[in-house]
Structure 1
Amino acid sequence: MKQLSPALLAGLVACATTPAAAPQDAFFARLSGLCGKAFEGRIASPPVDADRDFAGKRLVMHVRDCSGDTIRIPFHVGENRSRTWLVTRGQSALRLKHDHRHEDGSEDKLTQYGGDATLPGTAGRQEFPADAETKALFVRENIPQSLTNVWALDVEPGRIFAYELRRPGRFFRVEFDLTRPVATPPPPWGSDARQRAH
């Protein structure tokens, strides 16, 4: 049996590993394609008491800041501009984090939580189980029910963008209509502080 040359072997390894990253790259590209635009959304999951803060509020997401490896998506709930979804592209996987700020720009005690996309996913959907840092935060803040959180983002170009949270006994999903862009909202709370930090 012939041995494979080192060059051919390296090529086969590259072919075997590239497809795993390809869906995440395609997803990031889809998300980047929305940069600069804002869209109105609605709660698409069954109403529960835990979502009362969203009831009757205008929900707007704004793909506000984009670079080759970072996308910031403020999520406005009525006049509340405390939430920003942060999607970054690292060497091994996409990462989703939640940047929560107070009106004065300071960080909330529950912030920078999320996780990495541990599976390849698809060009249209990526899932992010809670990472170790997030689990430690949830333990410290006495919310153990959130340790099994899995967040997801869906992007169907020309149709919807969705944000989702799942865990046993909990399902929250908000969908944004990509067919009808809306006026861009004001900056999220803390955006000036983040700019000064960089």
Structure 2
Amino acid sequence: MRAALSLLATALGGCATTSIAESPQDEFFASLSARCGQAYAGKLASNEAADAEMRGKAMVMHIRHCTADRIEIPFHIEGLADDGGWDRSRTWVISRTPAGLRLKHDHRHADGKPDAVTLYGGNTADAGSATRQTFPVDAESIAMFNATGRSVSTTNIWSVETTDTGFTYGLDRQGRHFRVAFDYARPVTPPPAPWGW
């Protein structure tokens, strides 16, 4: 009996020290959350004709607000606002879902009102990695794009990468490969709140 109790105690002790491994999505989410409150300088990293308006513009991404299930990342671009100032219309929102992660794009006007095309995005279709997650366009966004004459966007796949050195946001579809990259070695003073927030 004493031997059996000793064996049981050993087994239970072993269970107490065993931890459940984090999924790649958990690691990805934790890595971004660890930088919450920080802002970083960046630049256009793609070189397509469609990117001409952004070429050479100063850019800042700000990991502005984080909870256990949601990360809000405003994306600011200098010189693109109607008045020539900073365009603060875009916020990337990454949230947890029962099946993985979701990326949505919150677009607002300078007066804070939502753009006609906003809250589009997609959900992860696989585990991804601790440094990179991809988000194929979802059905809701496809319907929005079709309804607003943007059917070219119905095959969008967005990506977000976070490594030890930086953050990259991307958009891919046939004939379109957009990238902006931000350097974690170039922290900047957090910018004002995005429009409407």
Q: Same fold (TM over 0.5)?
A: yes
**Structure 1 CA distance, aligned partners of 2:45 and 2:116?**
28
Kindly state the Cα deviation for residue 52 of structure 1 after the two structures are TM-superposed. Answer: 2.3
Give the deviation of 1:124 after TM superposition: 0.3
| Count of residues in Structure 1 that have an aligned counterpart in Structure 2 | 171
Instruction: For 1:66, give the aligned amino acid.
Output: C
| 1:93 and 2:100 aligned | yes
Structure 1 position 127 matched with structure 2 position 128: no
Distance in 1, matches of 2:37 and 2:132, equals: 21
1:189 aligns with 2:174: no
Q: Give 1:71's aligned amino acid.
A: I
CA distance in 2, matches of 1:165, 1:140: 21
State the 1:134 CA deviation: 0.4
* Structure 1 equivalent of residue 168 of structure 2: 162
1:176 to 182, 188, 196: 182
Match of 1:31 in 2: 32
SS in 1 for 2:115: coil
Letter in 2 for 1:106: K
| Deviation sequence 1:3-34 (CA, Å, 0-9, x none) | xxxxxxxxxxxxxxx87x71111100011011
C-alpha root-mean-square deviation of aligned residues, in Å? 1.2
In structure 2, distance between residues paired with 1:87 and 1:53: 26
User: Could you tell me how far apart the structure 2 residues matched to 1:110 and 1:52 are?
Assistant: 21
4+ residue runs over 6 A deviation: none
1:146 and 1:80 mapped to 2: Cα distance? 22
Q: Assess if the C-alpha contact under 8 Å between 2:158 and 2:171 holds in 1.
A: yes
Unmatched segments (≥5 aa) in structure 2: 1-19, 79-85
CA distance in 2, matches of 1:128, 1:92: 13
Query: Distance in 2 between the 1:150 and 1:108 partners?
Result: 21
1:117 is displaced (CA, Å) by 0.6
User: Take 1:53 and 1:34, find their aligned partners in 2: how far apart are those partners?
Assistant: 29
**Matches of 1:52 and 1:110 in 2, distance apart?**
21
CA contact (8 A) 2:77 2:88 kept: yes
Identity level (%):
50
* Offset from partner CA, 1:132-188 (integer Å, 9 cap, x none): 00000000011111111000000002x010000000100001110001211111110
1:63 and 2:69 correspond: no
Mapped partners of 1:53, 1:72: distance in 2: 25
Superposed CA deviations along residues 93-117 of structure 1, whole A, max 9, x for unmatched, are 1000000000111000110000001
**Hey, what's the Cα distance between the residues in 1 that align with 2:148 and 2:52?**
21
- In structure 2, what is the Cα distance between the partners aligned to 1:124 and 1:99? 23
Aligned AA for 1:182?
Answer: V
Partner residue, 1:145: 152
Question: TM-score, normalization: structure 2?
Answer: 0.84
Give 1:67's aligned amino acid: T
